[in-house]
Structure 1
Amino acid sequence: MARKELENMFNALSDSSNGIHSFLKEYIGKCKSGEIIVGHELIQMLDILQSHFGNPDIRFELEDPHKRIKFIETHCKHFEAPFAGKPFILELFQKAVAEAIYGFKIFDEEAGRWIRLYQDILYVVGRKNGKTPFVSALILAEFFCGPKGCKVLCASNDDQQADLMFQAINSMREESKSLERKTRKNLTGIYFGNPRKPIKTGKFSYQNKGSIRKLTARTGSKEGRNIAVGAVDEVHEMKNNELVMPIQQALSTQEEPLYFELTTEGFTNDGYLDKRMKEARSVLAGEAEQPRWLIWIYTQDNEAEVWQNEQSWHKSNPGLGVIKKWSYLRKWVDLAKTNTETRAFVLAKDFNLKQNTAAAWLMENEYMNLDIFNPEDFRGHFGMAGVDLAETTDLASAKIMLMRKGSAKKYFLSKYFIPEAKLKAKEKDEGSDYQKWVADGLVEVSPGNENDFSLITKWFIRIYKQFGIRPYKVGYDNALAKYWAKEMEDMGFDLERIPQERHHMSSPMKLLGQDLRGGLVNYNANPVDMWCLGNMGFSVDSREFIMPVKIKTDKRIDGGVAKIIAYATYTRYRNDFINLLK
């Protein structure tokens, strides 16, 4: 259909509310004509909304949404740079969302009146598109424009994220003298009534028991609440419905409850958001019915268009060019083209393309290094060690990282350890050749069913006796250390605990990746090292912290983990270590 025909069709859908202009109909028309670029999942929702206009059982009235839009644009101000202090003027897509939420009405026999059709809103949009300020402004508008006694809960998986929404609401309240005069804030929440400007009766007095409070997954006593509005921010981090179910149940007594879920895509596999997105896509495809659910998803249709067509970025970033800067997004996309960790983060957070937890960390050409060196060249040097003890019944790895003064290149001495009982079974691992590695002296076998960690201690002593190479620090995770740590300390080694946790492993893993890609790591062409690096994937969280994981559960990554631990120890003691280098 030609663009002019589309415009005429939607102009014909003029609003029945006294000829008032509808932002939703304008938005639908521009999306359908291609003037505004959106993904197919949002088009599916717009098709559903369009069908409502011709449904005699559904009314479209603009008084309620426009009251809230006017409230936001008149009373709310931005509180963060670069818009701090400026009026909160909504973009067309935000006004369309507001009309979709508040404009459609159905007759409820039990209530005996026309009530809001949509009670459950899933709002998925790329980061930095103003989702938290926008929904916060809607909540503040509902608090003032909605019924007396409106109670609101702002929730998220942790206190920091829940506080972002709560503080956004409060900051907008404080920016407006008229709103601030009618309300008060204390440690528990925001309430009507101001002791400095007391009003004895009415909606804006202490008689109004409405409130805005925050809640996290770690907060106790989530049951037994009675609220009118619930909003859960960044649901992608939630593993289950432990937080959202009590909030949804707390809304059950309301005739017109309002429940928001707002988020970007995340990295929690089989988590709460995965289930919700699967349900949402079934509804959008017409395979399931949930007529009270407004599903507003901004996402790319595929990954290829991210790299090939900048204009497609609008699909997941409706605020691009106004709220979110082109330069900001281009910078991240450029980084993502050359960095695996950044790529996964950008695709999830900026384009709402879910990434597998165990994405491959490095390409083969990035970690494959056939350079060799002679340990004799480092005679009398200090090194930085890393040990991954793994399980006592599986592969363990010990490494010494060596450097020369004035050079960023790292050289690794390595040894692996495996129980005798596991040796034969491990031969079935794809890409492994344990028997040859044992014969070549790369893997040492412990008699019996468990690793004898004292063999690791003996290896460090042997390296010292043979080459005079001594670890300045030995990084390890003490979860499985048991007697070994004490044995090492008794032999005079200085140990440093490196917990295998995201905030400890992320930076050294990224640094190791950069060095491997830059050809700054020489691990003596050790085939076990190559195999472990090829097996290693990574997981990333919303803070862009990464962790090593196995691409497949039956593969070993111990050699890569031991390198990361050595790097982590090195970064803690970089200056002292460099001063010892020859």
Structure 2
Amino acid sequence: MINPEYNGTHSWLLEYISKCKTKEILIGHELMEELDILYSHFSNPDITIDFTDAHKRIKFIETRCKHFEAPFAGKPFILMLFQKAFIEAIYIFKIYDDEVGRLVRLHQDILYLVSRKNGKTPLISAICLAEFFCGQQGIKILCSSNDYEQADLMFQAINAMREESPALEKVTRKNIKGIYFGNPRKPKKKGKFSYKNKGSIRKISAKTGAKEGRNIGVGAVDEVHEMKDDTSIMPIRQALSTQDEPLFFELTTEGVVNDGYLDDRLKEARQVLDGDLHRPRWLIWLQTQDNEQEIWQDEKTWVKSNPGLGVIKKWSFMRKMIEEAKLSKSKRVFVLSKDFNIKQNNVTAWLTTEDIDNKETFDIEEFRNAFGIGGVDLSKTGDLCSARAMLMKPKSDKKYFLQHYFIPESKLGNLPKEDRELYRQWVRDGLMTLSDGNENDFRLVTKWFYNLYRNYGIRFYNTGYDKWSAVYWVKEMEEDYGFDTKKVDQSFGSMSEPMKLLEADLKSNKVIYNNNPIDRYCLENTAITANSKEEIMPIKIQGKENKKIDGAVTMMICYRIYIDHKLEFLELVKRMG
């Protein structure tokens, strides 16, 4: 049992370590590795333990700062044990610096990884505000993020806490540029709270220019998981280089950006925790799970990545997220990365075999004189060219697909060996048409749509197309044959909603694709990629870049047209009855 008292002073960090060691508080092994390092500091003769700065800031936060958002708005900012331990870990360890000639804070860089809605932004905002008031005179603090809106969240959190406290508000002022000492209504002529104190709190984003040349004492970068590289990080770190005791915060959840800045940063952090890399000035506080299996098997383990669960974050919310994640791969990506800090890569398929497996078929005669939605994924030379018609019946939400594929004849010989015979069989079965030479002949695509109209009376409400190589094909479709067309970009904003609805319909057996083997092949090869807005789009599975997903893409293009014009299209479908 670890004694939480150190030389007559109660240590929140020692209390936290003790409760984690006895499993009264559950944490992941990565945080335990850091706590072991911190515990060793208490017996290190080269490190001085001084609680003054830490407890001064803890007291400031709990007595001066108030929450500003529901359901805690207006209430005092009472820190949880893990938050007090975190603050102590930042401030209590001192080492002698020969260059400065005195004791300085050991930790200068802080990496704080915790799941969403566990109060990370309010906590770091409160620490920044405490540093503004409790730190040295003239300190400059900079809030940053990947975009201006996210940087503003931290800045507004700091300002809201400032405004909630009359004592803080009366000695400071805020304008469009930032927060400063000195209140014009109640001016002080001298001292830390006067205009002579040139300290400030400001905000920038990764898109803000001229970051070089700044001189700051504290830099806090929020949601670093969105950053692809360190171009927006390094100028801030360099701006801290003149300080005796700089503080650089990186706070984030896990992300969905592959091979981004956070991936490299976490790789280094884990090398430090494992003892393979020496970074003694770096505090690495990772609230992570030990594995994915424990998430599904034991909800008690959720606190490892969600230390605020039950106080800040609701158990009911987490249970709801887990149930949704069980039913949707796209939802699972976000729940595992955002709620449990488990990195999600594009290494697994979007759909299971059960999702794709639908043997139901139909006869095209069932849709004679029907209205449909068209979709094409055009490729001049490389991938498959996919053409598709989506049809529906009155009083049914099932989607029926007619499809055809095209490929240049010269490309058959360049296919991977395992795919070559498949493609040749699809050509023999009449599911795929060869174009002479090295390029797809888009006239054959147009002819396929026209034949559906001529032979079966199928009229197209609209036909969606991706923008690649489509100029002359669109002209032919619209001017020569009278079809309406609409461009559907293959982007997050355009593809996310259709991909989610298509997934739900596939899982509910509402997508009837006539058991087409090429459709099945394309669906099996499709993975998802995501952005920070919880938008998704299709991508090839990592390691299977030579496989094709064009058939899945045209399904989503049809769904995009359907979603945008649902009422009009369903009214036309109703006339079939």
- TM-score above 0.5, yes or no: yes
The residue that corresponds to 1:14 in the other structure is 5
Q: Which residue of 1 aligns with 2:186?
A: 197
2:534 matched to which residue of 1? 544
The Cα shift of 1:15 comes to 1.6
Is 1:112 paired with 2:113? no
CA distance in 2, matches of 1:182, 1:362: 58
Report deviation, 1:97.
0.4
The CA deviation string for residues 80-107 of structure 1, in whole angstroms up to 9 with x for no partner, is: 1110111100000000000010111011
Residue deviations 1:231-251 (CA, integer Å, cap 9, x gap):
111111111101110111000
Cα distance, 1:287–1:393 mapped onto 2, change above 3 Å: closer
Partner residue, 2:565: 573
8 Å CA contact 2:378–2:386 kept in 1: the answer is: yes
Aligned length: 571
Q: 1:431: Cα distance to partner?
A: 8.6
Aligned to 1:42: 31
Structure 2 distance, partners of 1:387, 1:358, is 26
Structure 2 residue aligned with 1:295? 284
2:559 is equivalent to residue 562 of structure 1? no
Q: 1:66 aligns with which of 55, 66, 75?
A: 55
Query: Are 2:131 and 1:142 aligned?
Result: yes
1:432 deviates by 6.5
Secondary structure of 1:480's counterpart equals coil
Q: Are 1:333 and 2:322 counterparts? A: yes
CA distance in structure 2 between the aligned counterparts of 1:570 and 1:318, rounded to whole angstroms: 43
Following superposition, the deviation at residue 453 of structure 1 comes to 1.4
Write the letter of the residue equivalent to 2:6: D
Question: Which SS does the other structure have where 1:547 is aligned?
Answer: strand
Question: Could you tell which deviates more after superposition, 260-269 or 201-210?
Answer: 201-210
Task: Please tell me the residue identity of whatever aligns with 2:556.
Answer: I
Query: Which residue in 2 is equivalent to 1:395?
Result: 384
> Given that residues 358 and 538 in structure 1 are in contact (C-alpha distance below 8 angstroms), is that contact kept between their aligned partners in structure 2?
no
Query: Is contact 2:257–2:530 with CA below 8 Å preserved after alignment?
Result: no
Superposed CA offset, 1:364-421 (max 9, x none): 1111212111111111111011111145333110111000121000100101111111
Q: Is the 8 A contact 2:413 2:420 kept in 1?
A: no
Q: Which of 309, 315, 328 does residue 298 from structure 2 map onto?
A: 309
Q: Is 1:518 aligned to 2:508, yes or no?
A: yes
Across the aligned residues of Structure 1 and Structure 2, the Cα RMSD in angstroms comes to 1.2
| 1:173 and 1:179 in contact (8 A); partners too | yes
- Pick the aligned partner of 1:503 from 475, 493, 496: 493
Percent identity over paired residues: 61
Query: 2:76 pairs with 78, 87, 93, which one?
Result: 87
Mark the runs of 5 or more structure 2 residues left unpaired by the alignment.
none
1:121-156 C-alpha deviation (Å, 9 max, x unpaired):
000011110000000000010011101111111111
Match of 1:468 in 2: 457
For the 8 Å contact 1:233–1:263, the answer to whether it is kept is yes
Distance in 2 of aligned mates of 1:96 and 1:574 = 54
CA distance in 1 between counterparts of 2:271 and 2:160 reads 38
Q: Which residue number in structure 2 is paired with residue 3 of structure 1?
A: none
1:166-209 alpha-carbon deviations (Å, 9 max, x no partner): 11111111111111111111111111112122222221111111
Q: Which amino acid aligns with 2:236?
A: I
Partners of 1:394 and 1:428 in 2: CA distance: 16
Among candidates 358, 365, 376, match of residue 376 of structure 1 = 365
Task: Report the Cα distance in structure 2 between the residues aligned to 1:479 and 1:184, rounded to whole angstroms.
Answer: 53
Q: Distance in 2 between matches of 1:324 and 1:534?
A: 37
Give me the whole-angstrom Cα distance separating, in 1, the residues matched to 2:98 and 2:415. Answer: 67
Partners of 2:410 and 2:438 within 8 A in 1: yes
Tell me, in whole angstroms, the C-alpha distance in 1 between the residues paired with 2:65 and 2:73: 11
Provide the rounded CA distance (Å) in 1 between the counterparts of 2:215 and 2:59. Answer: 28
Residues 48 and 578 of structure 1, relative CA distance in 2, 3 Å threshold: same
- Take 2:192 and 2:346, find their aligned partners in 1: how far apart are those partners? 49
Specify the code of the residue in structure 2 equivalent to 1:553.
E
Kindly indicate whether the alpha-carbon contact (under 8 Å) linking 1:231 and 1:259 is maintained by their aligned counterparts in 2.
Answer: yes
DSSP-derived class of the 1:360 partner: coil
TM-score normalized with structure 1 length: 0.96
